[in-house]
Amino acid sequence: MSDPYKILGVSPNATDDEIKTAYRQLAKKYHPDNYAGSPIADLASEKMKEINEAYDTVVAQRKREKAGGYSSYSSSNNTYGSNNNYSNYSSGFNDIRNLILVGRIADAEMLLNGVPAENRNAEWHFLKGTVLYKRGWLEEAFNNFSRACQMDPGNAEYRAALNQVTNQRNGYYGGYNPNVGRANNFSGCDVCSSLICADCCCECMGGDLISCC
């Protein structure tokens, strides 16, 4: 195994806290949620495993070095795990779910397309969305997830998929969000000019905010 410190992106002299922070940042980056439904989810989970192992190694190493002293970590229990999205749900489309699970996307889509229109329920739309998402047809995936939620508003699985795509559309995972742009342009000048304005207003009303002017 290569250098665990290099994997975590910290120097071997880093403090325990620095390592913890670095680990958390990486874990957030490779968290399964960011890759739900993505065709490269397996690569992300490999990365996750790698940093988990690196973190465990470093923590164990330091614990050994400090043997006799206090130990502040309970290793491996606090590393993030990856959970599987599909395994917990029962459904009428088990064969298709299994195909998606093993990555046979084209086969899954063929079976889905073979389902007659009258049998296309909420789950069908959800699975169709899942397949389209993996193929990069993101807009149609979004439409199918929306349709699934419309048909079965109470289903948590469909809701989670729709929420994820909605957040991605709104720019929470990169991109441009027109509603938060203003916060970045806040400068020192704004503070001063706002204060001066407030002072003027106070003076108009007979009071004073900044006594010297």
Q: Which residues pair with 174 in a beta bridge?
A: 172
- Binding flags for other proteins, 42-81, as an x/- string (CB under 8 A): -xx--x----------------------------------
- For the four alpha carbons of 94, 147, 180 and 176, in that order, the dihedral sign comes to positive
- Span from 39-47, 52-60, 98-106, 203-211 in contact with other proteins (CB under 8 A): 39-47
**Is residue 146 a contact residue for other proteins (CB under 8 A)?**
no
CA distance 146 to 51: 35
Pick one of 11, 16, 25, 173: the residue that binds other proteins (CB under 8 A): 173
- Tell me whether residue 114 or residue 136 sits nearer to other proteins (CB atom): 136
Provide the CB-side half-sphere exposure for 128 (13 A, CA): 23
Q: Could you say which DSSP state residue 102 is in?
A: T
- Tell me whether residue 23 or residue 142 sits nearer to other proteins (CB atom): 142
Provide the CB-side half-sphere exposure for 142 (13 A, CA): 12
**Is residue 138 a contact residue for other proteins (CB under 8 A)?**
yes
Distances (CA, A) of 134 to 71, 85, 137, 141, 147: 44, 14, 7, 9, 18
Pick one of 171, 197, 198, 202: the residue that binds other proteins (CB under 8 A): 171
Pick one of 170, 193, 202, 208: the residue that binds other proteins (CB under 8 A): 170
Give residues in contact with other proteins (CB under 8 A).
Answer: 29-30, 34-35, 38-40, 43-44, 47, 132, 136-140, 142, 165, 168-171, 173-178, 181
